[in-house]
Amino acid sequence: MKHRITLTVNGELQDIMVESHQSLLDILRNEVGLTGTKKGCNSGDCGACTVLLNGKAVNSCLVLAAELGGSEILTIEGLLRGRDLHPIQKAFIAHGAIQCGFCSPGMIMAAKALLDLFPIPTEEQAKRAISGNLCRCTGYTKIIEAIMDAHKFGKS
Amino acid sequence: MFSDDVEYSVIGKRVPKADAIYKATGQAKYIEDVFLPGMLHGKILRSPYPHARLLRIDFSRAAKVPGVKAAITSADTTKVKYCQMPISPNKMALADEKVRFIGDEIAAVAAIDEEVAEEAINLIQVEYEILPSVFDPEKAMEADAPQIHADSPNNIAAHFVRTFGDMEKGFREADLILEDRFTCPPVAPCVLEPHGCIAAFDVAGKLTIWTSTQNPYNVQRALAIILKIPLHHVRVLNTTVGGGFGNKSTILSIEPIAAFLSQKTNRPVKILNSRHEEFTTARTRYGMVIYLKTGLKRDGTLTAREAKVITDNGAYNNKGPGITSVTCNRIGNLYRVPNTRTEAFVVYTNNQSGDALRGWGGPQAHFAVESQMDRIAEALELDPVDFRIRNANQSGDVTPWGWQITSCGFIECLQEAAKMVDWRQKRKNRPLGKGIGIAGAIHTGGGSTGTHGKGNYSEVSLKINSDGTVHLTTGDSEIGQGSDTVFAQIIAEELGVAVEDVKVISTDTDITPVGMGTWGSRVTFVGGNAAKGAAEMAKRQLLEMAAEMLEADISDLEIKNRQIHLKGKPQKSLTLSEVAHTCIVKRGKPITSKMTYQPEHTQAPDPQTAYGNYCPAYGFGVQIAEVKVDLETGRVKVERIAAAYDVGKAINPMLIEGQIQGGIAMGMGYALLENLQVEKGKVLNPNFCTYKIVNSTEIPAIKIHLVETIDPYGPFGAKGIGELATIPTAPAIANAIYHATGARIKDLPITPEKILEALKNRREGKQEEMGSRGKA
C-alpha cells in the first residue's frame, strides 16, 4: 500500500509516495535521489545510514518512511552551503579521519548531533556519540580528534 | 639512528587525502550509488545445506512473478571453474552438480527491482540429496571423512614441507624445548561497504563492469576467462572502494553471475551483497591450527623451530595454500632461527572459503610465535624485550630461507616501544589484573614475487598538461589507504609542483596501465618507485626545454614551487606552465613518460624448497599492549598501546598513523572479540549485532613512534606498513593478559569465558595440555 508523505529534506519540501515497509534510508537514496547516506547493514547495527530526524541522530534504515509526514531530515548533503564545507567536514579532512569513507557520512551526522548540543565536547562525549557508528579503517582515533577539534574550523 | 638529512617540500608532510572532500560530502560514488537506465537487480539462490547433490531445479513458479526478466542456473553459463591463484580452480559461478557450503550459489534471477528478485528467488524449488559434511579441518583429513572434491583424497587441497638447516641437530643442541597448540579461527573481514557490481553487456558483446575492487585487472582477467571473451572486450570501472583489506582482491561469484544475467537480458544487472551474505559467503580470514615447537639454549639463543599448520581451506580453492605458505615462512623467518621445519596441510571443509585479509597468514603465525616467545622468555627468566632484541632480525641478514634483510629497524622498534611505556617499571610493578605485553612483527613492505604465480611490478603513465599540471595513470588501486595521495606527493616532490597539481587516475582498465593491484603492502614501494621514475623522466624533458629557453645548461637548473630557475639565481626563471606550454602547444612536443618498476633483487621462491628472497623490502613493527582484566568477569580493557614501526621513510605520517590506529582496532577485534560462530556449517551470528568488531568506546590510547631506516630501494626510502599495522596486536594483548592474570590463552578470541576458565584451572592446579620440557 502506498502512502503520500510530505517532509522536508535538507530544507527542501519533498512530496512523495512511499510503500508501507520502505525505510527512510531507501526513500532518501531512491525516491529523493540523495545517495550520500550509505547502506552498510540495513539492520541498524553499523550506523552508516545515520541522518538527523528533527535534529536527532537516527539509523535511517530503522525508520519507516510512511510515519515521517511533516518531519525535517538533514542528510550529509545538507551540510554544504553551496560549495562551502561545514566545519565538521573540514575537521575530518584536515585530521585524516577519512580512509575508505563509507562510514564518514554517518559519522559526520552523528558528530553534528553531538556538536549541536556540545560545540566543544570531551573525548568521552565524542566517543559515546559515535559508539553506534562502526569503522573498520581508521580505528576511530582521528575521527574523535576531528570531532573534538571541529569548533576550530568555523561556526556551524 | 637513521636519518636522510634531506629537506623535502612535500615528502614527510601530513597532506590530507585528495578524495577526502568527496567522501566527507557524500559525493563519492560507491557501487551502491551507481544507477544505469534499464538496470535490473540480481539476486542469488544460495544453498541451505553444507553438502548436497543438486537433483532438480524448478523455476516455473519464479518465472511467473511479474518483473522477472531472467532466471539462470549453471546450465546457462560456460561452466568455467575459476581461481585467481595458480592452483586447481574448482569454483563455478553457479553450482553444477553439488553444493559444498551453506551459501553456495545455485541459481540467480534478474528482475526490475530487488523486491521482485527476492520474491522470485524464494519461489525457486530445488530438490537436494543431502550428503554428509565435515567442518573441522583436522577431522576432514581422517580416512572416513566425507569427500568434498573428487580429486582430493582426504580433502587435502595442498600439503607441503619446508625444511631449512638440520632439525635433529637444532633440537639436540637445545637446553629447553617448548611445544604449544594454537588455534586461530576464521574471522569476517567486515568491510563496511558490501561487495557489489553492475555488469552491462552491449549489443556487440562487450562487457563493462562497475565494481568495488582492489584490482580491476584481476576482475577483467577473471571475467574474460569465465565468460570466454577476449580481454579487450572487458572494461572494468572501479568505483570508490569502501574498504578492502584483501577481501576485495579477487572476484566472488556475484560478478560472473551478474555478467551472465546481463548477457541473457541485454540489460545492465546490479548485484549487491546483503550484510548477511557478507558474513556467510564473502569469505573469511583463513582459520588455522598451529602446532609450534621451539628449541633454545639457556642463554636465550633460538636453535630450532618446527611447526605443523592445518588450514581450513573451506569448500573451494581461493588463497589457502598461498596464505598458508606465508604463515609458514613467517614462522621460519620471524627472529633469527637457524633450523626450521614447517609442514602444512590445507584441508577442504564444508565451510565458506577463506580469502586474503590484512596480513595474509602473518597474524596467525605471529599469534603463535610471539605467544610462545613470551613463554620462552619466562622459562629462561629473561626480560621479553631483551630476549627479542637478542634474536631480532638485523640489516644485512640473509635468513636460511634466503630472505635478504636490507633496511631493518626491528631492534630500534623494540627499544623505542619499551621506552615509550617505561617497560621495565611496568613489568615489575604489577597490580593485580593489570599487565603489559609485547609482540614484534615482520611482513612484506613492498609486495612479493611469485605469490600470485607472477612478478611484482607496477607501471605508470604520466603526462604534463600545457598549464604545468600533471596526470598520472596507474593500475594500483586506491582503497582508502591513500595510495593516490602518496603518488601525488612523490610526483609533486620530484617535479617541484604542488600536491594539488597532480591528478591520479587508477580506476579504468581501458585507460590505465595493467596493474597488479593493492596487496602485500606493495603500492607505496613498487607503485611509488614507478611514479618517481616517471616523474624523473618528465622532469628531464621539462628541463631540456627550459635550458633552451633560458639559454642555460641543464645541470644549472632546478625546479621548485612551480618555477624552473638557475641554481643560485632565482630571478632567472620561468614558470613550469610557461615551459610546458612552450613544449606542448608551441612546439607540438607532448611531455609524457612511462615507467615500469620491478625490483631486481627478488626472486620467486623455489617451488620445491621455498628458498628465495621474494620481497624487496621487509617491514618491521612492535606493539606493547597494556591491559586491565576484571578478574571476576574476565573482561579485558586494552588501556594503552605503544606502537613503533620501521617505515623506511614516512612519506605521509598522517596516513601511516591512520593505518596503525586502524590496524590496532582490527587486531584487537581478532584478539578479543571477533568470533564467527559456526555450527554444522551455519553462521549463527551473521550481523554486526552479534559479531562484534571494536567500536569507538573500546579503543586504547595509542602512542606511535616511526623509525626511518631509509630503505635503499624504496622511493625516498619508503616501505609499506598497511598490514604490519595489525599483525602484532593480538599476541601483544595475549601476552599482556598473561602478565595480568597468569592465564595463557592459545585459542583466539580471548574471551572472558576462556580467561575465567584458565584462572579456575590454575586455582585447581590443572596442568596445561602442552608444556615445556627441559634437559638436566
pLDDT tens across B507-540, in order? 899 999 988 888 888 999 999 999 999 999 999 9
- What number is the ipTM of this complex? 0.98
Q: What is the pLDDT of residues B569-615, one digit of tens each?
A: 888 899 999 999 999 999 999 999 999 999 999 999 998 999 999 99
How confident is the model over B129-158, as a mean pLDDT? 97
pLDDT for B767 equals 56
Q: For B209-213, what is the mean pLDDT?
A: 98
Task: For residue B665, give the nearest of A127, A130, A139 by CB distance.
Answer: A139
Q: Is the pLDDT of residue B545 over 70?
A: yes
A25 touches chain B (CB under 8 A): no
Q: Does A16 touch chain B (CB under 8 A)?
A: no
Q: How many CB atoms lie within 10 A of CB B549?
A: 14
Q: What is the mean pLDDT of residues B469-482?
A: 94
Taking only residues 96 to 135 of chain B, the set having a beta carbon closer than 8 angstroms to any beta carbon of chain A reads none
pLDDT digits (tens, 9 = 90+) for B726-740: 999 999 999 999 999
Question: Would you state the pLDDT for residue B2?
Answer: 65
User: Does A85 sit within 8 Å of B245, measured CB to CB?
Assistant: no
Q: How far is B371 from chain A (nearest CA, A)?
A: 24
Q: Does B655 touch chain A (CB under 8 A)?
A: yes
pLDDT tens column, A90-142: 999 999 999 999 999 999 999 999 999 999 999 999 999 999 999 999 999 99
Q: Among residues of chain B, what percentage have pLDDT more than 90? A: 93
Local structure of residue B108 (DSSP, 8 states):
E
Answer yes or no: do A35 and B32 touch at CB < 8 A.
yes
**Residue that is written with C-alpha cell 582459520 in the block:** B287
pLDDT, residue A83, reads 87
More confident position, B516 or B3: B516
Tell me the three cell numbers of residue B385. 624485550
In whole angstroms, what is the distance from residue B339 CA to residue B139 CA?
A: 30
Contact (Cβ atoms closer than 8 angstroms) between residue B648 and residue B708: yes
Kind of pairing between the strands at B302-314 and B339-348:
parallel
Q: What is the mean pLDDT of residues B112-129?
A: 98
- Please say if the pLDDT value at position B770 is more than 50: no
Chains A, B: CB contacts under 8 A, how many? 172
CB B557 within 8 A of CB B543: yes
Distance from CA of A96 to the nearest CA of B (A): 6
Higher per-residue confidence, B541 vs B774: B541
Of B25, B662, B702, the CB nearest to A76: B25
* B22 neighbourhood in chain A, CB within 8 Å: 101
A62-79: b (≥16 Cβ within 10 Å) or e: ebebbebeebebbbbbbb
Average pLDDT, chain A: 97
For residue B688, give the DSSP letter: T
Rg of chain A on CA atoms, in Å: 15
Residue A109 in contact with partner chain B when CB distance is under 8 A:
no
Mean pLDDT (chain B, rounded) = 95
Closest CA to B651 of B522, B529, B527, B490: B490
The confidence band for B300, taking pLDDT boundaries of 50, 70 and 90, is: very high
Q: What is the pLDDT of residue B565?
A: 93
Cβ–Cβ under 8 Å, residues B332 and B164: yes
Residue B771, pLDDT above cutoff 50: no
Query: Are A139 and B702 within 8 A, CB to CB?
Result: yes
Distance CA B411, CA B398 (A): 16
Going by pLDDT thresholds of 50, 70 and 90, the confidence category of residue B453 is: confident
- Shortest Cα distance from A65 to chain B (angstroms)? 17
Label each residue of chain A as H, E or C: CEEEEEEEECCEEEEEEEECCCEHHHHHHHHCCCCCCCCCCCCCCCCCCEEEECCEEEEHHHCEHHHCCCCEEECHHHHCECCECCHHHHHHHHHCCCCCCCCHHHHHHHHHHHHHHCCCCCHHHHHHHCCCCCCCCCCCHHHHHHHHHHHHHCCC
pLDDT-based confidence at B568, cuts 50/70/90?
confident
CB contact B639 to A (< 8 Å): no
**Among candidates B519, B30, B33, B50, which has minimal Cα distance to B280?**
B50
Helical segments of B59-163, H only: 60-63, 114-122, 137-140
* CA nearest to B743, candidates B634, B610, B646: B634
Chain A residues whose beta carbon lies within 8 Å of the beta carbon of residue B190? 134, 136
Q: Is B761 on the interface with A (CB under 8 A)?
A: no
DSSP string, B198-229: EEEE-TTS-EEEEE--S-HHHHHHHHHHHHT-
Q: What average pLDDT does this structure show over B20-25? A: 98
The rounded distance, in Å, linking the Cα atoms of B226 and A111 is 46
Chain A residues in contact with B192 (beta carbon < 8 A): 38, 40, 46, 48, 100, 102-103, 134-137
The pLDDT value recorded for residue B513 is 94
Work out the percent of chain B whose per-residue pLDDT is above 70. Answer: 98
pLDDT above 70: residue A49: yes
In A, minimum Cα distance to B661 occurs at A139
- What does residue B168 show for φ and ψ, rounded to 5 degrees? -60, -45
The H-or-E segment that residue B274 falls in is none
**B87 has pLDDT over 90:** no
| Per-residue pLDDT, B768 | 56
**What pLDDT shows up at residue B167?**
98
A134:B695 CB<8 A: yes
Report whether B10 contacts B492 (CB < 8 A): yes
Q: For B227-265, what is each residue's pLDDT tens digit?
A: 999 999 999 999 999 999 999 999 999 999 999 999 999
Q: For chain A, say whether B717 makes contact (Cβ under 8 Å).
A: no
Task: Report which of B642, B616, B643 is spatially closest to residue B720, judged by C-alpha positions.
Answer: B616
* Whether the predicted pLDDT of B769 surpasses 60: no
B25–A135 CB contact, under 8 Å: no
Cβ pair B74, B93 in contact under 8 A: yes
Please indicate if any CB of chain B lies within 8 Å of the CB of A152. Answer: no
User: In terms of DSSP bridges, do strands B207-211 and B234-238 run parallel, antiparallel, or are they unpaired?
Assistant: parallel
Is B17 close to A45, i.e. CB distance below 8 A?
no
> Does residue B471 have a pLDDT over 80?
yes
Among chain B residues, CA nearest to A22 = B115
Question: CA of B219: how far to CAs of B89, B234, B336, in Å?
Answer: 16, 9, 39
Query: Per the omega criterion (within 30 degrees of 0), is the bond before B321 cis?
Result: no
pLDDT of residue B762: 86
Mean pLDDT of B390-414: 98
CA triplet B514, B444, B215: central angle to 5 degrees? 25
What is the per-residue pLDDT for A10?
A: 98
| Residues with Cβ within 8 Å of residue B37, at least 6 apart in sequence | none
**A71 shares contact with chain B (CB less than 8 Å):** no
**Cα B87–B91–B95 angle (5° rounding)?**
160
Report the residue of chain B nearest A130, measured CA to CA.
B696
Here the cell at position B391 is 634474536
